Chains A and B, each alone.
Chain A
Amino acid sequence: MWDAFGFEFVNFYLIPGLVLGCIYALGAIGITLTFGILRFANFAHGEMMMMGGYLTWTIMAIVTALFGLTLHPLVAMVPATAVVIFLFLLTDKYFYKPFRKEDTIKVVMASFGMMLIIRSAVQAIWGPNQLKFVSGIAKPNEILRDVSGSIDLMLLVPNKHIWIFLGTIVIVIALSYLLNKTRIGKAMRAVSDSPDLAHVTGIDVDQVIRATWIVGGICAMAAGVFLAMDIQLLETTMGFRMLLPMFAAAILGGIGKPYGAVFGGLVIGLAEELSAYPWIGDTPLLSPGYKTGVAFAIMVIMLIVRPQGLFKGRSF
């Protein structure tokens, strides 16, 4: 039944790899920005993604209950983003700021504690059960299937994946505009390169930190909602499970380099999925049971061979 050229490879390995890569990329942007500008590894980032998914679900549920409408997750995401950004700023003010002048390890531990607090809070509020984000199974987009099928390159892409691709492209373009064209974006890059020098030139570091949380919050939010759209359910460890590949992506691209994070995310996502393709013979090149190991291996090799990452980030 699957006879179109490269059908299996494109639809079952390449496209899922890109979808996963988009989610990793968005999460890694937030991680790399906090790492670059605030100088600590934020372990609570995955939980913020998860929280974003739950808040979006809640807004969808409220709208359905009040007006009988089914909101698209991308619409419900907007008000939820405001809440997540508020939470990011709140945690920064009360949990991270007091440690800013101390050793980095203290902030890292604070973020680790924050991770546990958020996860437990979500379990207490929404319960430990999985929640249904969108039920049923996602059929491939028919227009795309028919058009691509007529040129002998059958593409099976469900609508949810098209939304994820488009959403990621829009966010990355907006981010690049912000970083290159706006004053605050340039200030963010300056602080990332050298905080002391930036401070001397009169950049308001506190404002840059706030901007970092806002940008990181929007990206984390999008990553969380895209992940929930992809797996169609919510569970309380879904953000945490993404944390390691996202760190791998941030390190691969270079700490403090948002484009590096996007590139790293796509590479890690593709590497995880493509490692299970039967490149040689009929069996998977690498047992799919070791997928997570692929991201980890890339991270370790990168740290040994080129600790500053592909895009020349900071090395530690």
Chain B
Amino acid sequence: MKNVLFGASALAMITSGAFADVTIGNPMAMTGPIPDLNAPIAAAVDLAAKSVNEQGGMFKSGEMLNIIRADSACDPTAAVDAVTKLINVSNVAAIVGPVCSGATIAQAESVSIPAGVVTLSVSASSPAISTMEDGTDLVFRAAASDAYQGVALAELAIEKGYMDMAVSYANDDYNAAIAAVFVDAYTAAGGTVTANEAHEPSKASYRSEVATLGSTSDNLALFAYYGSGGITVMRNALETAAFSNFIGADGMLSDEVIEQIGAENMGGVTFTTSASDPTTEAYAAWSAVAEAGGVPAADPFVPNGYDAAFMMALAIEKAGTADRGAIAAALREISSAPGEIILPGEWAKAKEILAAGGDINYEGGAGNQDFDENGDVAGLFSKSEVVDGAWVAELIK
């Protein structure tokens, strides 16, 4: 009898514990074409949860913030599966992630929007995400839209003196969208697009593609994920001497590319990515937090990952409940003026102000993170080139 009672009370404790904790679902591209880019972003999300839990946890009772991770594999189908499980089985309060645009759009359209759950993507940058919602306000992102990055890339191409370019893009939501923005901006700026072809991701060979494109120009604007064809396209282009200069965006910016292709072959390669202004106070705070947590502060979308998870925690704290319905409005309130400025890592301070009924305005390592009416944020970009066998980034002014 004693044992039964003990067992029952232990069970009661476990269940009440599980109910009390706040859980956020975090679908990330753990497998798929960009695991290398994804790993530090996932570490940054965990670091944000650690900041919260070390500085008093959630709400008055100091509940734990739990991140439940799932694998969205940078793939629409996998993302829908992962998020369905997070929302229906794990019963999470909100979604932070996914990494890729295709995955974000698919999971939002078929799972999270119908379920009324807020999605805050860490790095999805397709322009299509700005306009995908119809009457709801549930999809946000902590990274800037490619509507801007495509333009930055076009300016970069002109500045480098590439007056004619061939364009090759992988056939998916992210790459097709940024390629379209780039082509418009580049043509408007006086450049000539000599050929513009989609390519199928993950093929064994792209020699015929690069040969067809290579006869028109010496410069290639390549939009692909490095792990699903991007590296092979570059390698085939270099092997056949079809192209000597390459520009591209986030999806290609990985150390993996240098390791595979060899730094000596990458003299004419420039890729852009979302970047932070390292002179701001918020960035200094972020880099201190990142250094203490052992996360590479300046890697692509890593500050965005921390900001997204931290803002989601702030929004739930502000709402005062892990109830799904109240989070979207709270997310807008905690991220924009008016209010006391909160920097990365300042959870205890934010908690105190919120408890006293005050207003806060989060400024993140990635930028000021003020959402516009589409749930987008503004951002800066950097260009990276290979110097001495490693990527060296420089902010684009």
Using CB atoms and an 8 Å cutoff, list the residues of chain A in contact with chain B: 1-2, 8, 11-13, 16-17, 19-20, 23, 123, 127-130, 132, 135-140, 156, 158, 227, 230-233, 235-238, 241-242, 273-274, 276-278, 283-284, 287-292
Task: Give the distance in Å from the alpha carbon of A20 to the alpha carbon of B204 in the complex.
Answer: 8
Q: Would A137 and B197 be within 8 Å (CB), given that A276-B208, A289-B171 are in contact?
A: no
Closest 6 CB pairs of A and B: A12-B211, A289-B198, A16-B207, A136-B262, A128-B31, A128-B35
Asked if B202 is at the interface of the complex by the 8 Å CB criterion, the answer is yes
Q: Can you offer 19 A-B residue contacts whose CB atoms are under 8 A?
A: A8-B215, A128-B30, A128-B31, A128-B32, A129-B256, A130-B36, A132-B259, A156-B240, A231-B232, A241-B202, A273-B205, A273-B207, A283-B195, A288-B197, A288-B208, A289-B171, A289-B199, A290-B200, A291-B203
- Whether the pair A277, B208 counts as a contact (CB closer than 8 A) is yes
Task: Give the distance in Å from the alpha carbon of A132 to the alpha carbon of B235 in the complex.
Answer: 13
Task: Give the distance in Å from the alpha carbon of A132 to the alpha carbon of B262 in the complex.
Answer: 11
Residues of A within 8 A of B240 (CB): 11-12, 156
- Whether the pair B227, A235 counts as a contact (CB closer than 8 A) is yes
- Whether the pair A227, B259 counts as a contact (CB closer than 8 A) is no
Task: Give the distance in Å from the alpha carbon of A130 to the alpha carbon of B31 in the complex.
Answer: 10
Of B31, B195, B265, the contact of A123 (CB 8 Å cutoff): B31
- Whether the pair A23, B260 counts as a contact (CB closer than 8 A) is no
Asked if B261 is at the interface of the complex by the 8 Å CB criterion, the answer is yes
Residues of A within 8 A of B90 (CB): none
Residues of A within 8 A of B232 (CB): 231, 233
- Whether the pair A242, B197 counts as a contact (CB closer than 8 A) is no
Residues of B within 8 A of A238 (CB): 202, 204
- Whether the pair B235, A137 counts as a contact (CB closer than 8 A) is yes
Residues of B within 8 A of A137 (CB): 235, 238-239, 261-262, 265
Residues of B within 8 A of A277 (CB): 208, 212
CB distance from A136 to the nearest CB of B (A): 4
Additional A-B contacts beyond A136-B264, A232-B260, A291-B200 (9; CB < 8 A): A8-B215, A12-B210, A13-B211, A128-B30, A129-B35, A135-B262, A231-B232, A241-B203, A289-B200
Task: Give the distance in Å from the alpha carbon of A127 to the alpha carbon of B198 in the complex.
Answer: 30
- Whether the pair A129, B36 counts as a contact (CB closer than 8 A) is yes
Q: B228-239 CB contact bits vs A (8 Å, 1 = yes)?
A: 000110010011
Task: Give the distance in Å from the alpha carbon of A175 to the alpha carbon of B177 in the complex.
Answer: 48
Residue on B nearest A284 in the bound complex, by CB: B212
Task: Give the distance in Å from the alpha carbon of A241 to the alpha carbon of B261 in the complex.
Answer: 22
CB distance from A2 to the nearest CB of B (A): 7
CB distance from B103 to the nearest CB of A (A): 15
Q: Would A236 and B31 be within 8 Å (CB), given that A136-B265, A156-B240 are in contact?
A: yes
Asked if B340 is at the interface of the complex by the 8 Å CB criterion, the answer is no
Most buried by B among A130, A227, A237, A276: A130
Residue on B nearest A245 in the bound complex, by CB: B204
Of B204, B206, B256, the contact of A227 (CB 8 Å cutoff): B204
Residue on B nearest A293 in the bound complex, by CB: B200
Task: Give the distance in Å from the alpha carbon of A238 to the alpha carbon of B35 in the complex.
Answer: 15
Asked if B209 is at the interface of the complex by the 8 Å CB criterion, the answer is yes
Of A13, A241, A284, the contact of B197 (CB 8 Å cutoff): A284
CB distance from A115 to the nearest CB of B (A): 15
Of B203, B211, B265, the contact of A8 (CB 8 Å cutoff): B211
Most buried by B among A135, A158, A289, A291: A289
Residue on A nearest B234 in the bound complex, by CB: A137
Residue on A nearest B29 in the bound complex, by CB: A128
- Whether the pair B211, A237 counts as a contact (CB closer than 8 A) is no
Task: Give the distance in Å from the alpha carbon of A220 to the alpha carbon of B384 in the complex.
Answer: 40
- Whether the pair B197, A232 counts as a contact (CB closer than 8 A) is no
